[in-house]
Amino acid sequence: MKVSLIQMNSGQDKAKNLRDAEQLARQAIDQDGTKLVIFPEHFDWAGGTPKDKVAAGEAERDGPAYDMCRKLAQDCKVFVHSGSFYETAPGGERVYNTSVVFNPQGQEIARYRKIHLFDIHTPDGLRYGESDAVAPGTATAVVDIDGIKFGLAICYDLRFPELFQQLRLDGAEAIALPAAFTLQTGKDHWEVLLRARAIETQCYFLAAGMTGPFEQNGETRYSYGHSLVCDPWGHVIARASDGVGFVSARIETARIVETRKQIPLASHKVL
């Protein structure tokens, strides 16, 4: 299966972000013949205050980001992973950070709401309080995409290996991880964590990232970018350059089988 990761620098102009996302996806489909497109976290809207984030939330279905992804899948006859967008949570006081996967008929086939929320102070002293606006999800998700089982996760989830072990137990052969890693953490941890999770689970990892500056709470902050694909052995087989664009790679099921045969981790587990 040919997959394409879309790397974006989204802001608070939702209509522009959606146009940019669709244009990049169509370029990837036309140029590389991709069968699965994955957008980054917050691809449709990024930045702002907690109040702005809640206001940017969409209904569970039929919002602008949802509709664009659904129509793209239908028009191009491909699978589309929405990266993530804000979905209004019950009560309307917070939102979920939500991924949706569409099949080539435009039907929703999976939904995942980010479980682990990014509440930290980075080394440069900036505070990130995702839970100020976002409610955590409670369920994992694995979906069949053209015969390959994909586990779903989002950004900060990457730091919690037990989540990926559960996805592996649930049959995952690849992991889709849209992200908006900070520059401070990304430069030291992004590739290391992705390769480690790939090796531990013996899954492909497809990590689509936001890149460059964005405005949050009146401050300019930076996302790391460097979208990349790891194979089950932990090799980086594709990586995006700096800036907006896309990167494509081929997922080979034989590589998954070979890796799991060479090191049969599943049969060696004792805990």
Q: What is the pLDDT of residues 218-261, one digit of tens each?
A: 889 999 999 999 999 999 999 999 999 999 999 999 999 999 99
Average pLDDT over residues 13-36: 98
Closest CA to 36 of 168, 162, 160, 144: 144
Q: In whole angstroms, give the CA distance from residue 243 to residue 64.
A: 25
pLDDT given at position 216: 87
Residue range 97-112, pLDDT digits in tens = 999 999 999 999 999 9
Which of 18, 118, 121, 126 shows the shortest CA–CA distance to 72?
Answer: 18
Give me the pLDDT at residue 126, please: 85
pLDDT band at 125 (very low <50, low <70, confident <90, very high): confident
pLDDT of residue 118: 97
Is the per-residue pLDDT at 21 higher than 90?
Answer: yes
Q: What is the C-alpha to C-alpha distance for residues 70 and 13, in angstroms, rounded to an integer?
A: 20
One DSSP character per residue, 16-49 reads HHHHHHHHHHHHHHHHH--SEEEPPTTTT---S-
Q: Indicate whether 92 pLDDT > 90.
A: yes
Q: Are 113 and 100 in contact (CB under 8 A)?
A: no
Residue 71 pLDDT > 90, yes or no? yes
Residue 78 is predicted with a pLDDT of 98
* Residues with catalytic roles: 41, 114, 155
Per-residue pLDDT tens over the stretch 171-184: 999 999 999 999 99
Rounded CA-CA distance 251/245 in Å is: 20
Q: Model pTM greater than 0.75?
A: yes
Question: Does residue 56 register a pLDDT over 90?
Answer: yes
Q: What is the pLDDT of residues 188-204, one digit of tens each?
A: 999 999 999 999 999 99
**Residue that is written with structure tokens 């409670």 in the block:** 138
For strands 204-207 and 245-250, give the pairing: unpaired
| Structural domain spans, the chain | 2-268
Query: Does 34 score more than 90 pLDDT?
Result: yes
Round to whole Å and give the CA distance between 257 and 235: 16
The mean pLDDT of the chain is: 97
Instruction: Provide CATH code, domain 2-268.
Output: 3.60.110.10
Q: In 3D, which of 214, 178, 210, 172 has the Cα closest to residue 194?
A: 178
Looking at residues 80-97, what average pLDDT do you find? 98
End-to-end CA distance of the chain: 33
- What confidence score (pLDDT) does residue 115 get? 98
